[in-house]
Structure 1
Amino acid sequence: MSTPSLAPQIMKRPWLMRWMKPISNWYFENAGYRKLGLRADDLIPEESDQVQLALRRLSPKESYDRVYRMRRAFQLSLSHQLLPKEEWTKAEDDTPYLSPIIKEIEAELSEREDLESMIISKRKANN
């Protein structure tokens, strides 16, 4: 599920961060999902097993909020409308809520795979 990201390398270099920040802000403002009331993690495709498991691990409130945002955005999309500007998702509200759980699940699965593929052998006794 995880895709390679340049973000850690960009964040290590302050000069590059200052150069990229306005571009990233422009991109997120023009992506359009915030104008429908969605958050970035609402756009993660739900087809993989890891995402399905992460969705089951969400708290009931967060799960309800996600479904509400998705249904509202779908209805707005069908009617070719946008939310009023005061209801748009603000940048400070657009925090990841699902991707940390997905990363945790991927780490658990890789650890399980490593443990299951481990070969245990007895040491030979020295005479």
Structure 2
Amino acid sequence: MFGPLGLSLAPYVQSSRTLSKWITPVANWYVNAAGYRKYGFKYDDILVEENPTVQRALTRLTPREKYDRAYRLKRASQASVLHAPLPKELWITEAEDVRYLRPHVEEVAKEEEERKKWDNLIVQRK
């Protein structure tokens, strides 16, 4: 999500035309090499669900988003059983691969940080 320290270089890279020109082809190659789109996944479908932040974010999806996610997971599971990716016309395109879960994950992370700041009351007996 944001690296080990909670920092992201993405805004800096996007603001620099030269860096963006060099990194964009490498990033596109990496996404294609990862192969998750060949099985019908969007990037947010492959996030680690065991993470409590991601679990809470998943509960905030709309019913349509939940249905679409479950359908993509089942379709990819079937393709995995068959040991073959989906037909090329069913692959997720770059335009379809939108981050539908990231806003929810960021919102949950912000709420957890705020909760840590406010939940530090220590009760002492007199």
TM-score, reference length from structure 1:
0.86
Higher alpha-carbon Rg: 1
Match of 1:40 in 2: 43
Please give the alpha-carbon distance, in whole angstroms, between the structure 2 residues aligned to 1:77 and 1:35.
11
Which residue of structure 1 lines up, in the alignment, with residue 20 of structure 2? Answer: 17
SS in 2 for 1:91: coil
Structure 2 counterpart SS, 1:29: helix
Q: For structure 2, which runs of at least 5 residues remain unmatched after alignment?
A: none
Instruction: Give the letter aligned to residue 112 of structure 1.
Output: R
- Partners of 1:80 and 1:60 lie apart in 2 by 30
List per-residue Cα deviations over 1:89-110 (Å, max 9, x = no partner): 0001101011110110000110
Residues 88-97 or 26-35, more deviating:
26-35
Aligned to 2:111: 108
Q: CA deviation at 1:117?
A: 2.4
CA–CA separation in structure 1 for the residues paired with 2:99 and 2:57: 13
Alignment check: 8 A CA contact 1:11 1:17 kept: yes
Matched with 2:79 is 76
Report the aligned-residue RMSD: 1.6
Report the equivalent of 1:59: 62
Aligned residues: 119
Aligned partner letter, 2:90: E
Q: Which amino acid in the other structure matches residue 77 of structure 1?
A: S
% identity of equivalent residues: 45
2:94 corresponds in structure 1 to 91
TM-score, length of structure 2 as denominator length: 0.87
> Any conservation in 2 of the 1:2–1:103 contact (CA below 8 Å)?
no
Q: Secondary structure of 2:23's partner?
A: helix
